[in-house]
Chain A
Amino acid sequence: MKDRFALLRKAVQLGWGLLTNAHITGFVKGTIYQGPLKNFCVPGMNCYSCPGALGACPIGAMQSLFDARRRKFAFSVVGYLAALGLLVGRFICGWLCLFGLIQELLYKIPLPKLKVPKKIDRVLRYLKYAVLLILVFLLPFFWRSELGVGEPFFCKYLCPVGTLEGGVPLVLLQEQLKSAAGFLFRWKFALMALVLLSSVYIHRPFCKYLCPLGAFYALFQKVSVLRLKLDGEKCVSCGKCEKTCPMGVAVTRDPNSAECIRCGACVRACPAGALRFGSGAKKPGLNKNEKMNIREE
């Protein structure tokens, strides 16, 4: 049963990734899709310069709308992402993000895993909000180059998704781009390599510390319609949920933490059935003896 749920999530992640990157000919010819679907943003991190991408990247789209030359607010993308966040919060991160899946698969490589010390981890988690505020909102909106145009700072200087999904295949497939790749490409390639390498040792490091899209969805986690419900009467305080959580969330204290990607690992791990998604009817709690039995197990 447990494995079936984990498999279902992997299937959804993979299926979504393939569906939104189904422009196969792009990988052969080194071109990108230019059809009408590119008007719309996908919900997760997915570079629109990936040869297979059918949709637009929401973070890239937001920055291009903010373009400092015009200084217009990105009403459509911000509204779209806010609506998704209000409906399901970071469920998108856990189920519909291709780059999240890539990191999870790398973490499966059987090598010793690194546990980031709590104090450092706590501070680093705020970094993604700084990335969102400074590199996605403020700089693209206010900073103008000598030519009077704005720049997508996050995409240009930090985003490893663009390098992996767009940069590497296009540079390999197009001679012109290969010859144009200079310091910036090497910088972005190094960052990408660092993120991918650290994904082998740390679970989803980009999502935890750097992703501005995850930070945006996290803002709505506590008010979203989809929620993780903890039934205090059923909970036996065994701590299995917290041990299982790959994002390091204190599930019983804060089930709707901004760090939760709603992967459902805790729901599966709970032996008392005290955790569930949504707002279904309340089921009766366990009696004292049943709780003791579960604790002893």
Chain B
Amino acid sequence: MKRKVPLAVTVLLLVLAVASCVFGVSRGELKTVYRKAATVCLECIGIG
């Protein structure tokens, strides 16, 4: 069964995804992720 979408399109999207990731990291998103992940998330555990 042949690919309906050429591999080149997948590779292009992959490049965009990686670029998006790098851009996000460069503007300090990891800090926000860490701040949320390193403290008990009260919403997640059902407290508030």
Contact = CB atoms under 8 A, between A and B. Distances in A.
A49 B41 contact: yes
Contact of A181 (B16, B34, B47): B47
A39 B33 contact: yes
B8 to A, nearest CB: 11
A185 B1 contact: no
B44 A156 contact: yes
Contact of A180 (B14, B16, B17, B47): B47
Contacts of A78: 20, 24
A64 B24 CA distance: 13
Interface string B14-48: 10111111111101011011111111110111111
A138 interface: no
Contacts of B3: 227
Q: Is the interface of B mostly helix, strand, loop or mixed?
A: helix
A167 B46 contact: yes
14 contacts: A32-B39, A40-B30, A40-B33, A57-B37, A76-B25, A79-B19, A83-B18, A155-B43, A156-B43, A156-B44, A166-B44, A177-B40, A182-B47, A185-B47
Nearest to B44: A162
B5 A56 contact: no
Contacts of B21: 75-76, 79-80, 83
* Closest 9 pairs (CB-CB, A-B): A76-B24, A79-B20, A75-B24, A79-B21, A162-B44, A167-B45, A188-B46, A56-B37, A185-B46
A188 to B, nearest CB: 4
Chain A's interface size range is 35 or more
B43 A151 contact: yes
Contacts of A258: none
Interface of B: 1, 3-5, 7, 9-10, 13-14, 16-25, 27, 29-30, 32-41, 43-48
B18 to A, nearest CB: 6
B42 to A, nearest CB: 8
Contact of B44 (A65, A80, A152): A152
Given A48-B44, A227-B3, A32 B38 contact: yes
Given A39-B34, A78-B20, A177-B45, 11 more contacts: A39-B30, A56-B33, A61-B36, A61-B37, A75-B29, A162-B43, A166-B41, A166-B45, A185-B46, A185-B47, A223-B5
A184 interface: yes
Nearest to A227: B3
Interface string A208-240: 000000000000101111010111100000000
Contacts of B14: 83, 86-87, 225
B36 A48 contact: yes
